[in-house]
Amino acid sequence: MKFQPSKVYIEEEALGYPLTSRILGKLKGIPQKVIFSSQELVRSFYQRKDPVGEGKRVMLLQLQKGNFLKPCPGTKNYICCLYQILDLTTNCNLDCSYCILQAYLNNPFLVQYVNLDDLFSELDREINGNKEVIYRIGTGELTDSLSLDHITGLSKDLVPYFSMFFNACLELKTKSIEVENLLELKHEGRTIVSWSLGPESIISTEELGAPSLEERLEAARLCQEAGYRLGFHFDPLIAYPGWEEKYKSVVDSLFQAIDPKMIAWISLGALRFPPQMEGILRERFPQSHLLSGELFRGMDGKLRYFRPIRTELFQKVYGWIKERAPEVFVYLCMESPRVWRDSLGWAPQDNYELRDLLAQRCVE
């Protein structure tokens, strides 16, 4: 069943915006309340037993007062692809045990910014004002790009908009199967639809509310038929007994469903999270096996597997991908040059080289 929030709050200043009307029209029958400010509401919610879990069922409509377009914060001492984040929605209705948004966000609700005119004005200035720069922009860093699309219809605004640019592409990163809106849109190859993939044993235990692997690959196949290029993210890779067989099966399933020629890129990333996530994970997901592995603080302060474990994860998954699709571009997310070389046999010189390699694939 498609997700529906249990309640919608609308800040007064968000009334009258077309996106507000669109969302409220889709949520007729759902309790709706206009409030002056969300600050007191947020404070009261954090007195509840599980504010993160309860907040995932409440939608808040408000205005984005800052910039919509922001650089990926990256992490020290590791290679970053210099992604650009489009901060249009924050939080996610899915409940993945490893999601760092549990520790990162200071608002538990599904926040939707409704001032789209400001968004597109900002993008116009940025993209048209720097035509020598290729922009690789994604909406899936602070939310799932498509899991609320049946309510917001944002893909109908974003995909045609990006189709007009020769120097920008949009990546919609998701675990969902909400692709109906995409299939009839004019995209001109400027939108890449990406899925996070993992074994069914991980999906069923660590990605609560998320569609199955089979459902995700079927949604990707539909987008492929509609002419979209695709991306896939094996992130986080999780080391657990029998992981080799399980992840090899995922790779096999991927290339049984998808033509490698339609894949723009595949990323690999190992399990990692900030130390404060450990307590949250134990409290909210006591049955999770993520903390059963040996983790230590990396150079960025995040908890990670030891380097030899990460290298083995990357080597094997990379090898299975290259056996099936030698030409597909594979990169590592937030890893050191040494791990790149030991796992993939090469490493970008710096962040800018990786940015340029991905930008080239963005506009091919």
Q: Tens digit of pLDDT for each residue in 220-237?
A: 999 999 999 999 999 999
Query: pLDDT digits over 68-109, tens only?
Result: 999 988 877 899 999 999 999 999 999 999 999 998 888 999
Q: Is the pLDDT of residue 1 over 80?
A: no
- Separation of alpha carbons 174 and 177, rounded Å: 8
Residue 363 has pLDDT above 90, yes or no: no
State whether the Cα torsion 153-113-24-100 is positive or negative.
Answer: positive
Rounded to the nearest integer, the mean pLDDT of the chain is 96
Mean pLDDT calculated for residue range 135-158: 97
| pLDDT of res. 170 | 98
Task: Kindly report the backbone phi and psi dihedral angles of residue 130, in degrees, each rounded to the nearest multiple of 5, phi listed first.
Answer: -140, 65
Which residue ranges make up each domain of the chain? 7-362
- For residue 302, give both structure tokens: 């995040």
Strands (E), the chain: 7-11, 32-35, 58-62, 69-71, 84-86, 89-90, 95-96, 110-113, 135-138, 168-174, 191-196, 207-208, 229-237, 263-270, 272-273, 295-297, 303-305, 330-332
As a whole number, mean pLDDT of residues 183-189 equals 96
pLDDT of residue 222: 98
pLDDT band per the 50, 70, 90 thresholds, residue 305:
very high
Q: Which pTM was predicted?
A: 0.96
pLDDT band at 294 (very low <50, low <70, confident <90, very high): confident
For 183-239, the three-class secondary structure string (H helix, E strand, C coil) is: HHCCCCCCEEEEEECCCHHHHHHHEECCCCHHHHHHHHHHHHHCCCEEEEEEEEECC
Domain topology for 7-362: pyruvate-formate lyase- activating enzyme (3.80.30)
pLDDT tens digit string along 3-45?
A: 999 999 999 999 999 999 999 999 999 999 999 999 999 999 9
